Amino acid sequence: MIFLSKRTKWLMSLIFALVGFMLAIQFQTASSEPELRDTRDQWEIRQALQEQQKLQQELLEQIAQADRTLEEYGEVSDAEKLETLKSSIHQLEQEAGLAELEGSGVIITLAPIFQEWEEGAPAYPTVSPSLLTHLINELNTFGAAGIGVGEERFISISPVRNVNGETYINNRPMPPLPITIKAITSNPKKMMDYVNASRSRDMFALDQIAMEVEAEQHIELPGYEDNLQIDVLELDSSKETGED
Amino acid sequence: MWLPFVFLIIGVILGLLTDLRVPDAYTDYLTIAVLAAFDTLLGGIRAQLEKKFDDIVFLTGFFTNVSLAALLAFLGVQLGIDLYLAAVFAFGVRLFQNIAIIRRHLITQTINSRKLKKNPEK
Same domain flag for A91 and A150: no
Residue A62 pLDDT class (50, 70, 90 cuts): very high
Is the pLDDT at A79 greater than 60? The verdict is: yes
Provide the percentage of residues in chain B whose pLDDT is more than 90.
7
Please report whether residue A198 resides in a domain: yes
Q: Are A243 and A173 in contact (CB under 8 A)?
A: no
* Side-chain half-sphere CA neighbours of B102 within 13 A: 16
What's the domain range around A196?
A: 101-221
Cα(A211)–Cα(A188) distance, integer angstroms:
16
Same domain flag for A211 and A109: yes
* Side-chain half-sphere CA neighbours of A222 within 13 A: 13
Total domain count for chain B?
1
Same domain flag for A81 and A117: no
Is the pLDDT at B2 greater than 50? The verdict is: yes
Name residue B119's amino acid: N
Total domain count for chain A?
2
Cα(A88)–Cα(A90) distance, integer angstroms:
5
Cα(A173)–Cα(A163) distance, integer angstroms:
8
pLDDT score recorded for residue A1: 45
Is the Cβ pair A24, B9 closer than 8 Å?
A: no
Q: Which of A77, A96, A115 is the last residue of a domain?
A: A96
Please report whether residue A38 resides in a domain: no
Please report whether residue A14 resides in a domain: no
Same domain flag for A149 and A49: no
pLDDT score recorded for residue A239: 63
In CATH, what number is assigned to the domain containing residue A131?
Answer: 3.30.70.1880
Is the Cβ pair A28, B7 closer than 8 Å?
A: no
Of the ranges A6-15, A67-76, A173-182, which is most confident? A173-182
Same domain flag for A49 and A161: no
Question: At A242, which helix (H) or strand (E)?
Answer: none
Please report whether residue A209 resides in a domain: yes
Please report whether residue A36 resides in a domain: no
Please report whether residue A208 resides in a domain: yes
Same domain flag for A204 and A114: yes
Which residues, at least 6 apart from A241, have a Cβ–Cβ distance to it below 8 Å? A141
Same domain flag for A182 and A206: yes
Residue A209 pLDDT class (50, 70, 90 cuts): confident
More confident residue, A210 or A32: A210
Is the pLDDT at A2 greater than 60? The verdict is: no
Please report whether residue B63 resides in a domain: yes
Same domain flag for A76 and A163: no
Please report whether residue B7 resides in a domain: no
Q: Which of B8, B39, B62 to mutate to test the interface with A (most CBs of A within 10 A)?
A: B8
Question: A146: which strand partners?
Answer: A184
What pLDDT digit, counting tens, does each position of B31-43 carry? 888 888 888 888 8
Cα(A193)–Cα(B68) distance, integer angstroms:
71
Is the Cβ pair B30, A26 closer than 8 Å?
A: yes
Same domain flag for A92 and A105: no
Is the pLDDT at A179 greater than 90? The verdict is: no
Residue A52 pLDDT class (50, 70, 90 cuts): very high
Q: How far is CA B2 from the centre of its chain?
A: 17
Please report whether residue A105 resides in a domain: yes
**Cα angle A169, A94, A233; round to 5:** 60
What pLDDT digit, counting tens, does each position of A106-155 carry? 888 888 877 656 666 666 777 888 888 888 888 888 888 888 888 888 88
What separation in angstroms does the CA of A16 have from each of A21, A111, B39, B60?
Answer: 8, 82, 12, 15
Which residues, at least 6 apart from A128, have a Cβ–Cβ distance to it below 8 Å? A162, A167, A207
Q: Which of A7, A11, A12, A28 to mutate to test the interface with B (most CBs of B within 10 A)?
A: A12
Same domain flag for A119 and A215: yes
DSSP structural state of residue A99: S
Of residues B5, B20, B21, nearest to A16 (C-beta): B5
Please report whether residue A187 resides in a domain: yes
* Side-chain half-sphere CA neighbours of B86 within 13 A: 13
Same domain flag for A64 and A116: no
What's the domain range around B77?
A: 25-118
Same domain flag for A84 and A144: no
Please report whether residue B17 resides in a domain: no
